[in-house]
Structure 1
Amino acid sequence: MQGIRPDNAVEYEFQVSEFPGKKVVAPWNRISSFTDSIQIRASGFPKMAYLGGYRAALGAALIVDVREVKRSRIISTAVIAWEPVQPEITSIYTSATLDQLFQQLQAPWLADQHPPGSFSSGVKIPSSNTNLVFTLQEGVFARNQIQYELTRNGKVHTAWRNNAYANSFVWLKDLPHGDYKIRIRYTAQPQQIAELSFEITRVWHETIAFRLLAAILSLVFVLLLLLFVRQRRKSRRAEINKSILQLELKALYAQLNPHFVFNALSSIQALINKQDIRAANAYLSDFARLTRDSLVHSQKNEIALHEEIQTLDTYLKLEKLRFGFSYNIKVEPGVNEYETNIPALLLQPLVENAVKHGVAGKEEAGHIELLINKSGHDMVIILKDNGEGITEKTSVSGLGLKLTRDRISLLNQIHPGRQINLAIQNTVPKGARLTLTFNQWFDEGTTDRR
């Protein structure tokens, strides 16, 4: 500090504090050090007070106060702080222009430092590009001097990290498509950040249209392959088995009759007209799942009880949206629904009959209950509704009941030791109760019938 020499130094003292916070780094103290001959020759100034060297935290400043000892009057105040420095992105190099980057590294005076338009924010780069290099202003930096963060579609893709290269560039590789923002800072001044936005675009085989077309073609191919395999299979079953397959096909048509399909699509249209897109999507998804499950299950003689329950739940959920009734499916603890099999689609026509002829007209007052329990070695399934009950008209027009009775008759012929019985009765005051009894269904060797 000029003006303070060895002959007058006893008249002054100094203090060093940090700002913000006013943390005292060096308390009030007398001046005892001065510049030496080397510093005098280098600066050209006469001998003066030397107050020492001090450190401050990043982002902070040092305040040096000098005062007269006798009057305690501050005669000088100095503030020392870092000058804010922010990185500057000068260029962007891609896989197609890496040769220019190498030229810049080898002979900077010959390289094109600013490829036209390459460093403008919002630049679009195809995802076929595997290299992306951001160069900074001139300088060679250690790895821990530069840090960067990368966000993709508004979410952090790469959290703040030290640069991977000891040079003036950040090199990124193999980025998926999306909207990106790179943020670069010097480690010594983390509050000074340079930002640049860019987009990695999709290549043609990553577009939604292509993927949708590929999915459709794959589905068509699989369906054609399944049809081809099925056509090549020779029938090895007896006439009764052929009859069962025909009845199962009729049962499938009974489930997916045009009336049900029309009503389901009408319900979806009504939801769309009410702007209830979420409900419409949910309805459409359930309808597609029911259609798919029915087609898959119709190819099997038996399926797991759990699969049958899932199909029934999906169907009742769809019909509940139309008619407003409530329903309940309960499996007693004694029945393992995952290891117990049941003839495929056997319950579906009965449940549809309970909806169509039972609770369809009762709206929210309607209720259907399906109970599955174990009685000794038998499995008992009870289906109840609080509709008008089974009438003569219902018995005649109920295609589902007739198909179910026919299937049970044929199944009992194939498995005489495991008879299936169907009992139907009206309940008091209103409603119908259907009881399906699967005799000897849990005998040893038949419980896990997969």
Structure 2
Amino acid sequence: MSVSMEPATRAAPADFDALRRQDPELADVLSAELERQSLGLQLIAAENFTSPAVLAALGSPLANKYAEGYPGARHHGGCEVVDVAERLAIERAKALFGAEHANVQPHSGSSAVLAAYAALLRPGDTVLAMGLPHGGHLTHGSPANFSGRWFTFIGYGVDAETGLIDYEQLRALARTHRPKALVCGSISYPRHIDYAAFRELADEIGAYLIADAAHPIGLVAGGAAPSPVPYADVVCATTHKVLRGPRGGLLLCRAGLAERIDRAVFPFTQGGAQMHTIAAKAVAFGEAATPAYTTYAHQVVANARVLADGLAAEGLTITTGGTDTHMIVADPAALASDARSARGLLGGAGLVVDVCALPHGDARGLRLGTAAVTTQGMREAEMARIAVLVSAALRADGDQGDGVRKMRDEVRALARRFPPYPPLYSAS
């Protein structure tokens, strides 16, 4: 069974003929972006390729409908049809994750976290979350973010030697500061989180447990990662990473918190629901409930492990010594002057990656993910080759001649073997 969707079903994601006739300048922009996605290797851990069905829902007439409120209780008339779409998304999300309640309206992962805090906390409350240098998100207490301005955040971290969460430090901080909420989740932690340990600690100190599962939620859907749902009071997630849905957020919670969560989303933090996006979420949840998606999710992890091993063999230092998920964090110091320079070198070769903080110091590393290339159908052999290409690109610093062009050509050749979508149209 193929780990990606069959080529016949991955038809052209949209018909741009009308756009080209109306606005050829913007049509050229879309054409150029499709070419960029198709001729490079998208190794950003937070990105993926949606199905044509998801894109069809995003471009549907549901985009025209104003639908403040919830199914059966809208502030606008004419919502009978969009109510069906939202109920489908809610029921599919609940079934997929075994949740008692789901809110599918958050516009983003940050919007979901904001709503979770609004439902459970008050300004000034103390929150214990992963420190930003150790992999915490902006919503985990950054002074530039609402979270750092409205709440008092205490940061826990990872062990200096292993790179794994220091659960002893976590317990000590929780018992000292007695936070109102514990937040577990990270943008750059490649290992599974011990949700049971967090739940035990939250119960001990009388705190809420909020799981920010934006990255692993797609693996949870495919049975390739442990679920936070049985342990957390609220789970915040996104739908556009491994889950392979539209850009947006998701909240899962216990039935007893349903009304507080819903009110925190609307009317407290958001206005009208984006019904085209909610319909696209429903499509993605339906796709994630299939055996093919389960196979895909496990292949994502298998590919990440091979890529991590390959990068280590090429001389990069892999944080935590490997990965349990779709994500790899690598220190390129042995091959490049710094991570931002490394990202530029890789981008020049068509290898698109992120930069993230490394714990215990000011250094930064590279964050790579295998969700998108796995959707394209790549497997272990391609991951091993990508590791070599990454190394070669980093070693080519200062070489802008035939070596770099040859590398870029090989990346394009690999991408062409596994196109995310068939060609839509030419730029002419």
TM-score range, shorter chain: under 0.3
TM-score (norm 1): 0.22
The structure carrying a bigger helix percent of its residues is 2
Higher RCO structure, 1 or 2 (CA under 8 Å, sep 6+): 2
| Larger strand fraction of residues | 1
